[in-house]
Amino acid sequence: MIDHVSIPVSDLARSGAFYDRVLGNLGLARMVERDQTIGYGKRYPEFWLNLREDIPPVVDDCGTHVCLRAPGIDAVAAFFASAIDYGGMGDGDPGPRPDYGPTYYAAFVRDPDGNRIEAVTFVDLPSG
């Protein structure tokens, strides 16, 4: 249903370096680079960074976030760890989210501009 998503960033070089490392854990690679934008994807660009040098900081309760599918629990953990290592902030440690469903396993981060990005996978989790 959704073909692609774009998020605003204030520093394209900084955000590109951040997302190169973070999205690689989910199997996404930089596919397009232009003066004002970078596109990531697997077969075609589906996640875009758009330079907006004068954007105000993202407020914590804006409600907007992007969720990307991870191939497994290890990829969710690597996504989270690399985001923290490269200038992001944790916004929900990797783990089960039983309120979202019995197989929902995710992590949430804030990128250097405050955009909320989630990685999710669906697995059979032990009960109890």
Residue 128 located in a structural domain: no
Residue 62 falls within a domain, yes or no? no
Instruction: Establish if 40 belongs to a structural domain.
Output: yes
Residue 79 has what pLDDT?
98
Give this prediction's pTM.
Answer: 0.92
Q: What is the dihedral of CA 89, 63, 71, 102, to 10 degrees?
A: 110
Please report the pLDDT score of residue 127 as a whole number.
64
Is residue 61 one of the residues assigned to a domain? no
Single out the residue of 93, 78, 80, 9 nearest to residue 47, CA to CA: 9
- Which domain, by its residues, includes 103? 5-53+68-122
Q: Is residue 82 part of a domain?
A: yes
Instruction: Dump the DSSP string for the chain.
Output: ----EEEEES-HHHHHHHHHHHHHTTT-EEEEE-SSEEEEESSSEEEEEEE-TTPPPPPTT---EEEEE-SSHHHHHHHHHHHHHTT-EEEEEEEE-GGG-TTEEEEEEE-TT--EEEEEEE--PPP-
Question: Does 59 fall in a domain?
Answer: no
Residue 25 lies in a domain: yes
Phi/psi zone of residue 65: left (φ > 0), alpha (ψ -120 to 50 degrees), beta? beta
pLDDT in tens, the chain (128 residues): 789 999 999 999 999 999 999 999 999 999 999 999 999 999 999 999 999 999 887 877 776 899 999 999 999 999 999 999 999 999 999 999 999 999 999 999 999 999 999 999 999 866 65
What CATH number has the domain bearing residue 95? 3.10.180.10
pLDDT confidence of residue 126: 66
* Backbone torsions φ then ψ of 8, nearest 5 degrees: -85, 145
Give me the number of domains the chain comprises: 1
Would residue 118 count as lying in a domain? yes
